[in-house]
Structures are given as structure tokens and as C-alpha cells.
Amino acid sequence: MREKILSIIEKNSRIDLRELAIILGEEETDIVNEMERMEKEGVICGYHTLIDWEKTDVEKVSALIEVRVTPQRGHGFDSIAERIYKYPEVHAVYLISGGYDLLVSLEGKSLKEVSNFVSDKLSTLDTVLSTATHFILKKYKDHGTILGRKEVDERMQVTP
Amino acid sequence: MRNPLSKTIVDIKPSGIRKFFDIVSEMKDAISLGVGEPDFETPWHIRDEGIYSLERGRTFYTSNAGLIELREEISRYLKRRYDMSYDAKTEMLVTVGGSEAIDIALRAMVDPGDEVLIPQPSYVSYEPCAVLAGAKPVIIELKHENQFRLTAQELEDAITDKTKILILPFPNNPTGAIMERQDLEAIAEVILKYDLFVLSDEIYSELCYTEKHVSIVNIEGMWERTILINGFSKSHAMTGWRLGYACGPRHIIEQMYKIHQFCIMCAPTTSQYAAIDALKNGDEDVQMMREAYNQRRRYLVHAFQEMKLECFEPFGAFYIFPCIREFGMTSDEFATRFLNEEKVAVVPGTAFGDCGEGFIRISYAYSLEKLKTAMGKLEHFVGKLRAEGGNT
């Protein structure tokens, strides 16, 4: 039941719990209990909304920053990752295999704000060896959803 | 000028669905629940394989029976999923959809005057195909109280000394009915007793929701007298690729092969390459789609219960077949009014045989969101009809 609930709410966190119970063929109370357990266990970490900010008047700039760091004795990458993720403008931090160590996803109001963050805050950290900033020009697909495309049913309307 | 037309073809009634198609296609913002194909696009990796085959220049005929790699994959798939044994070289034919397989199987197996048993409600092409093959179609009217399954008694009652073939359309379009092992065992006895053959159309075999599909082929003594028909349209959402297959004993497949060879040549090459990938790497897609249909199915069964609309729980395909007799109108009237007054298209049960009178087919090859909107409208419509009925 857990995996099925998750696969549905991952796509639609606003689904009515009664309806969720119906489509999964479960009791509503069982669904509610399971959701609460998953929230407590930290399996469910939040209920977010996927927004195409391009379609709003809000000015936003997103960037992905490759960061190479010196791992610290006893802490590895964890403490430096923590230093970085505490900044509210940082959206996501991932430890990455390959040519660099951390991938930082960042959001700011303008190019300048993002650049300032990188040069003032990120690069100046002792353990940071180098950064490479990639500004996002256009989002085609996010969280498994193709942005800006309207689904059209191309099927004939009545078929045997 | 002489009449250019064949009497046989002129006498065949056009599909009852046509009328609704014409009305719906002219109506703006109608919601249709009338579609008999998946709402999913073909999984990308399968499409990609089709594209790649074109890039590689694989644009020629294949062997008549279909690419041997594909037939071998089909053979492995049938073994893996349903424990059926068919030799890829001699007991299998890749066809243009399941539809071609139905047609050529009948043409290969009947002589004028032979009777073909067709349980209804069922898919629209069996009856005309039987007629075109020169056979006499004999309808078995399935019953709501049996959950539209075929019983041994119904079968035996329809048999004459001319009966040759039974068409077995389960999981069923339009009712969503399935046949479980004990149901199949019961009819298998009758089939053996009267020395009949079976044309088992299992195109919806991957869409069974309570237990795994059981085929008549798996019942003792039936492999030898069954032509199995299946394909990629419903399982892998590949309707437009037109790809199916027929499996059976060598001496029947050999004769079907001749018709296929002369009339069709071979199934579309691009589709065949794509289908190899569907069978090699598509199990997860099939599973995902089955789960999505099942969720919608549960939603509809529940919605009908809430509306107090009589309906047996369908266990297969992607259709639900509620009874509308309480409203005192024909299926056609119901569907026409529903379309005009609520702008929702459903298919009258009579499109699938006279015994579909009193029922409508609702397809759940639609997103839950769409189904919810449509059920809101159905509830409104049903409420209105009940109020009308109360007044008179």
C-alpha cells in the first residue's frame, strides 16, 4: 500500500484521501494512518506545488553550480554540504560522483544576485576549491512534468 | 448498369457506433467515454525502437509470418506470462492487429454453412467476419446475472450438427467480463464433447485486475483445437501500429498463412521492430498501465454504487457496463439524451449485439480527472431521469 500511495501523491499531493482509498481499494482510515506514519518517519517530507514561474510576473533566475571541495577529516562532505544548504537561496544540494563533488541548485531574483552569492558566499568558504555556475535558460520538463504543453487527446472520440 | 455490389456485403449492417461518432465529432467540448483504445501513448522506448529501425533503413517487407526475432520473443513472452508453448517457426503468425487474425482464422476454418458461435455482447467484427467467411453466425446471448460469462449450458444449447467454431472473447469488450479457470473447464467439456474449435480473442489478457488471466489454451485438451489471438494494441498501448498475432496448431496456421501471404504480405515492418522491444523491455509499462486502469475501475465501481446504478464489477479490459433498464428507455435513447443533455458520449450496449439492450458501455481509458467530471454529469443526469420517472 505504501508504494502505491507514494506513487500517486508524488504526482498529485492534493488528492482527496477518501478518493485515494477508493482507487486503491483500501479503507480510508488505513490510508490516513499510513500517511501519518510516513510523515513521522520522514518518508513524506512535504507537499509542494510545481510552478512554471515563467508564466508569472515574478522575476526568478535559477542556476546549477558545480562545486569542488576538500572533504574534511571525520566529516567527509557532510559538514561542507550543511554549510551550503543552510543558505535559504539554496534550493537543493546533491553529492555527485564524477568530475566535481557537490551540485547546488540556486534561485535568486536576478543574475546579479546569484553571481553575488557565488562570489561572496560560496567561493569564499575555506573548503571550496572551485565553482562553475550554469544559469538555467529554459525549463522544458521538471519533476517528470513537461512544462508548457497542453495535453490533447488525439484519439477518435468513439471507437469500438 | 448492373449492380456493382456483392449481396453479402450489402446485407451486412454498418457498425452501430458510427452514428454516435458523427454526432460527437460535431459537438464542441463533449466529453467522450466512448473510446476503445488506451489513453496512454506508446511507451517512449518502444517508439524509439521504431524510429531507429527507420533510421537504419529497415523499410522492406519482412518474411510473411513476421520477423523471426519477433516471433521468438512472442513465444518466450507467452511461455513466461501464461505458460503456453508455441513454436515460433511453425505455430505462429504476426498479423495486422488482432483484427486480421480474427478474419483469416475464420476464413481458414469454415466452409459455407458451418456455424460459428459468437457470444454477445462482444466486439463488433466477429459477426461480419464470420459472414464474409461464408459461415453462419449463431449468437449466444450472455446474461447479466452470470456476469456476462459464458456457461456450459448456454454453449450446449446453441450447438447444432453444423456448429464448428466457438469464438471466445474474454476479457470482454464491452462488458469487462472475464472467464475464470472453472468457467473455462466447464465449457471445455462441451467443446470436447461436440468436437468444436475455439477462436480465443485474448487481446485484453494483460488487463485483468483480480487474478492473472487464464486462457482456454491452458485447459487440458484445448491447445490442439484453439487459435489464440493476441496483440500489442491494448497491452502496450500500440493501437495505431496495427500489430497482433495468431498462434495455434501447425496445420491450421499453415492455411491461415496462405491467406495472410496473398492478402496482406506481412505486418508493418516498423511496428514489428518496435514490438520486439515492447516484449523485451515493456513489462514495467504494462504493469504501470494495468495499475492505472485498476484505480479508475475501482473509482467507477464505487461511483455507480453511490448513484445506485446497477452494475456488476468488471474484472478485465477497460470497460464497465452499467444497466440502465430502470429508466425505461432503450440504450440508444439513453446514450442520445445523455449526449445531448450532458454532452457526454457513451456507447449503447446494442452496438455490441441485441442483448446489450438495457446497458451502456463506459470506457475508462481516460484520466481520473476526466472520469470524475463525467461521473458528476452522469449523477446529475440519472437524478434528473429519476425525478422525471417519479412525476409520471
CATH of the domain at B201: 3.40.640.10
Q: Are B40 and B237 in contact (CB under 8 A)?
A: yes
Are B75 and B100 found together in one domain? Answer: yes
**Cα separations in angstroms, B234 against A90, B238, B288:** 45, 7, 13
- C-alpha to C-alpha distance for A33 and A39, rounded to whole angstroms: 10
Residues B29 and B118 in one domain: no
pLDDT at B19: 79
- Structural domain contains residue B2: no
Q: What is the nearest CA distance from B2 to chain A, expressed in angstroms?
A: 34
Q: Are B268 and B122 contained in the same domain?
A: yes
Residues A46-92 have pLDDT tens digits of 999 999 998 999 999 999 999 999 988 888 899 999 999 999 999 99
Domain assignment of residue B392, yes or no: no
Per-residue pLDDT at A134 exceeds 80: yes
**pLDDT the model gives residue B391:** 56
The interface pTM score, or ipTM, of the predicted complex is 0.86
Residue B93 structural domain:
44-281
Look up cell 531507429; give the residue: B52
**Phi first, then psi: what are they for B137, rounded to 5°?**
-75, 135
Angstrom distance (rounded) from CA B277 to CA B256: 26
- Same domain for B242 and B323, yes or no, is no
Q: Do B82 and B209 belong to one domain?
A: yes
**Contact criterion met (CB < 8 Å) for A158 and B37:** no
Question: Alpha-carbon distance B119 to B33, whole Å?
Answer: 24
Between A23, A24, A160, which is nearest B123 by CB?
A: A160
Mean pLDDT for all residues in chain A = 93
What is the spatial distance between Cα B116 and Cα B107, in angstroms, rounded to a whole number? 11
- Together in a domain, B86 and B214: yes
Count structural domains, chain B: 2
pTM listed for this prediction: 0.93
List the end-to-end C-alpha distance of chain B, in Å, as a whole number.
Answer: 56
Exposure letters A105-127 (e unless 16+ CB within 10 A, then b): ebbbeeeeebeebbeeebeeeeb
Within-domain flag for B224: yes
Whether B170 and B227 share a structural domain: yes
CA distance A112 to chain B (A): 40
pLDDT (tens, 9 = 90+) of chain B, 392 residues, equals 999 999 999 999 888 787 788 888 888 889 999 999 999 999 999 999 999 999 999 999 999 999 999 999 999 999 999 999 999 999 999 999 999 999 999 999 999 999 999 999 999 999 999 999 999 999 999 999 999 999 999 999 999 999 999 999 999 999 999 999 999 999 999 999 999 999 999 999 999 999 999 999 999 999 999 999 999 999 999 999 999 999 999 999 999 999 999 999 999 999 999 999 999 999 999 999 999 999 999 999 999 999 999 999 999 999 999 999 999 999 999 999 999 999 999 999 999 999 999 999 999 999 999 999 999 999 999 999 999 887 55
Residues in chain B with CB shorter than 8 Å from the CB of A14 are: none
- Of B281, B301, B331, the one marking the end of a domain is B281
Do residues B215 and B122 both lie within one domain? yes
Quick one: pLDDT at residue A123? 94
Predicted local distance difference test score (pLDDT) of residue A4: 95
Closest by Cβ to A158, choosing from B39, B291, B345: B345
Please report the pLDDT score of residue B189 as a whole number.
98
Which CATH number covers residue B371?
3.90.1150.10
